[in-house]
Amino acid sequence: MTTLSKTPTTTDRISFIPSELLGVIIDLIDEPKDLLQLALASKHFYTIVVSDHLYYRHIRCDSRYMDLWSLFQTNFSIASKIRKLEMVTYTGRARNFLIPPSFRKKTYGDGGDLVVSDDNHVLQVLREAIGNMKNLHLFSWSEQKSRSWEGMLELFKTLVARCTNIQELEIMNANSSEPSNPTFTLDRALDPVSLPLEHHVETHPPNNPPYFDKLLQMIIFRCKRLKDLYIRSTFGLLNVSVLFLEGHWPDLRRFGLGGHISLFPEEVNEATQSSRMISFWKLHPNLECVLLIPATPFITIESGTLPLLRSFSCPIVSEFSVTIPTDVLSHVKHLFIFTQLNNNVGRIRSILRSAMSLTSLVIIHWSGWDLLSVIPTIQRFACFNEDVILPADGRSRSVLDMMTSLPHLTHLGGISFEYAEESLVVPELFRFPKLKYVEGLQGRKWTELKRDAEGKVVQLHTIERNIQDLNWEDWGGDFWGIGVRYSYI
């Protein structure tokens, strides 16, 4: 009698593939979510994917995890599995860190093994570890710690030379103006997709050449494929006029300048400024988001330009500081405005009336509640003014009365209810049938409004900022809530 062999199952077939070959195939998958789906396909995949790949795709921690950095320094195979590396600062809790489980048991404490004092040794280990990350796609440095100038410069040189697949680059020297912060310039061409650079260093610190000028030249001539560019400074007054003169990035879609930034030198007259800005917009027709919050606001956009613009942020300090035509405003969905509204009511009203597709509005220094009737289509509205606090003296009701002109409102942020009787405010929210989230009812956190079948608010639920309904892109990419963050300010 002939015995028929059982047809091998898919898992059986996979089990015959050498683990080394499977590792090569799995290494082609970049995203952790895709790795997780593969891990759930079978026990065999789970064993290989989770232990050897999933925990190493995205690393986020600080430089004091020396055992981890030493592993990457000495093990090229493991280091090459990393796609995203974020160097952040420990802020009293490590729950936002992304590190392999075997390293999570280590905690901070007096004399603990995570407390490192030898700065040169730390930078050497980091530099050699990063040099092994050949498949790195995203590198972010936002450690709030002054480092050796020479050591940081060598680290960035290694990054540029060895990590040739970089697509997103974030350099943020937070909370330090010491000249020991790193200069970052490139010796070879690098085409990152995203380049948000937040600078807290003086333009000309001692013994340092005017590196900000070098930085601008790097951005202009060595980052030709930029899609996202944001520059912010909190020290000095940095001039970026060369960006408007020589900058050309065909794929640019998000452009932001904030903080102590001067768009043009004082000697350049307004007509020349307008001409240069208009030429810049014409060279970048793919721009979707423009954020300009400079120290010297003068913004001109010409009719027929920026056909894809959907998010626009700017200061309005006078009737003539911002010129943006109706045809451009007509397809803008998100506005973020800084203004002294009492002096610019007419200009604000004109802008709001022209923004017929507007779905979200954030205004800083707001007191013109009567203008709400101009924007009945708004779904998300946030304001901030230290004088706009809703106390339990009847004013909260009058303000809410004016806000009933926003029947489609789903998100209300920035207004402080902290001195109001919650029992008085919450019933008033019944008049907003689509309102889902309010910021300020319980401190500065977002609160979800739970309703019964009749639409009456019956429960308040404090939520985290990262839920889908609070997606910052739905605010135009510029807003997480007054009490949470300004993304680009």
pTM over 0.85: no
The answer on pLDDT for 63 being more than 70 is yes
The answer on pLDDT for 68 being more than 60 is yes
More reliable by pLDDT, 248 or 204:
248
Alpha carbon distance 31, 250 (integer Å): 27
Share of the chain above pLDDT 90, in %: 17
Q: Which pLDDT belongs to residue 469?
A: 52
pLDDT tier at 437, thresholds 50, 70, 90: confident
The residues, ordered by sequence, that sit 6+ positions from 241 with a Cβ below 8 Å of its Cβ are 262, 263, 264, 265, 268, 276
117-126, 184-193, 398-407: segment of lowest average pLDDT: 184-193
Q: Are strands 411-413 and 437-442 parallel, antiparallel or unpaired?
A: parallel
Q: Which pLDDT belongs to residue 464?
A: 60
pLDDT tier at 153, thresholds 50, 70, 90: confident
pLDDT tier at 122, thresholds 50, 70, 90: confident
Q: Which pLDDT belongs to residue 251?
A: 92
Alpha carbon distance 18, 23 (integer Å): 9
* Spatial CA neighbour of 348 closest among 382, 377, 324, 378: 324
The answer on pLDDT for 238 being more than 50 is yes
Q: What are phi and psi of 340, to 5 degrees?
A: -100, 85
Share of the chain above pLDDT 70, in %: 69
* Spatial CA neighbour of 160 closest among 125, 127, 208, 203: 127
Q: Which pLDDT belongs to residue 76?
A: 94
Alpha carbon distance 258, 262 (integer Å): 9
| Residue 468, token pair as written in the block | 């889908």
Q: Which pLDDT belongs to residue 200?
A: 56
The answer on pLDDT for 108 being more than 50 is no
Give me the mean pLDDT over the 21-34 stretch. 84
Give me the mean pLDDT over the 85-112 stretch. 66
The answer on pLDDT for 317 being more than 70 is no
58-72, 235-249, 324-338, 387-401: segment of lowest average pLDDT: 387-401
Architecture category of domain 310-489 in CATH: Alpha-Beta Horseshoe (3.80)
Q: Which pLDDT belongs to residue 209?
A: 42
Give me the mean pLDDT over the 126-131 stretch. 94
Give me the mean pLDDT over the 120-139 stretch. 91
Alpha carbon distance 290, 255 (integer Å): 5
Question: Average pLDDT of the chain?
Answer: 76
Asked whether the beta carbons of 410 and 439 are under 8 A apart, the reply is no
pLDDT tier at 179, thresholds 50, 70, 90: very low
DSSP-based three-state secondary structure for 270: helix
Alpha carbon distance 365, 412 (integer Å): 16
Alpha carbon distance 24, 314 (integer Å): 48
The answer on pLDDT for 485 being more than 50 is no
Return the domain boundaries, the chain.
310-489
pLDDT tier at 149, thresholds 50, 70, 90: low
Give me the mean pLDDT over the 406-431 stretch. 71
